[in-house]
Chains A and B, each alone.
Chain A
């Protein structure tokens, strides 16, 4: 969550609660909304690393609030992050390990493993569809995130089928 917070602070200084809200507005229900505690812990670490700095702002009738802003080092870290290519998603290696190692354990039938996994993926797909259904159509970011997850799931299923064919289960 470090870099998304830096990105939000690059736009304007903000306090913790505003950052939480900005994340929610941007990604909608599709992305995990961090709790305020996590946000403050992350901001604390970013401050220690010199990427952000905080100033106390007085408020009438309330305790002071800390407003965070981006430092030059923070901006540089952000630019590096944006500019570098991003690793592709990892394959679902845990299932693959199970599949390959199952015969050694003598406890699992590969065919049954693949079939169960296929039904599980389809049930995840159904949940993603339901999620898309109740997502605000105006929230393009959330919908794209959901569509991306669906395409990944499709690839997982296709790969599962290849495993089933090729391992001569």
Chain B
């Protein structure tokens, strides 16, 4: 059996800010194999962001273990996490955070350059990613000059710049209209077909439906974890499909 890209066991997060402790994640087990695309869904406040932040080392765990690509990660120091992330993880935040005083192009190239690829390769990858996301024209802009949706697409491009072993994304289409969502979906589909492992939090059913597997959280716990079934309909794909599909 190959090593899972993600393995979390009995992961717990209790926030302790001032008054009462807030148990945000209450004992989650999750294993993600190489090449898998897992969508995490659940109501607001169910612990999705907390969970995915812990997987990326952006939030410390209260207890439990995290293994990334066969390496124990929950015991790493902050700088240890930083190195691991640079080598293996691309992260898209729910509220995008780009480097404000760098152009869009530099934001996207930076992780690849830090990862040690040549400037030429970094530029080619950046041109490809921005092109796929319809942002070629915006390459020279500063993040503050972009709309929320554009910034979020840049954040996705940046997360993918380094061909990370694992892509973690928190609501990557949260600020996008349906046309821009389509660009993001297309790119996610493409990199997934190329073998990209993806763990992504989303409310968007179109995004979730692209995943191999959906994990539902409620109140800090997993209440469902399984494959999205193939429909039993014959894939004729002609007359009356929408009305048949939607009833």
Contact = CB atoms under 8 A, between A and B. Distances in A.
Interface of A: 29-33, 92, 111, 115, 118-131, 134, 142, 145-147, 149-150, 152-154, 157-158, 161-162, 164-165, 169
Interface string B203-226: 111101110001010100001101
B78 interface: no
Given A31-B243, A122-B228, A125-B206, A147 B178 contact: yes
Given A123-B230, A149-B246, A29 B218 contact: no
Interface string B163-180: 000000000000000100
B43 to A, nearest CB: 5
Given A129-B209, A165-B43, A118 B239 contact: no
A169 B43 CA distance: 14
A165 to B, nearest CB: 5
Given A29-B237, A29-B239, A119-B226, A125 B218 contact: no
Q: How large is the interface on B (under 10, 10 to 19, 20 to 34, 35 or more residues)?
A: 35 or more
Nearest to B182: A132
Contacts of B203: 158
Given A131-B245, A147-B178, A125 B240 contact: no
A153 B241 contact: no
B231 interface: yes
A124 B178 CA distance: 18
A126 B206 CA distance: 7
A146 B238 CA distance: 13
B236 to A, nearest CB: 9
B244 interface: yes
A135 B225 CA distance: 32
Contacts of B242: 30-31, 128, 131, 142, 145-146, 149
A119 B205 contact: no
Contacts of A146: 242
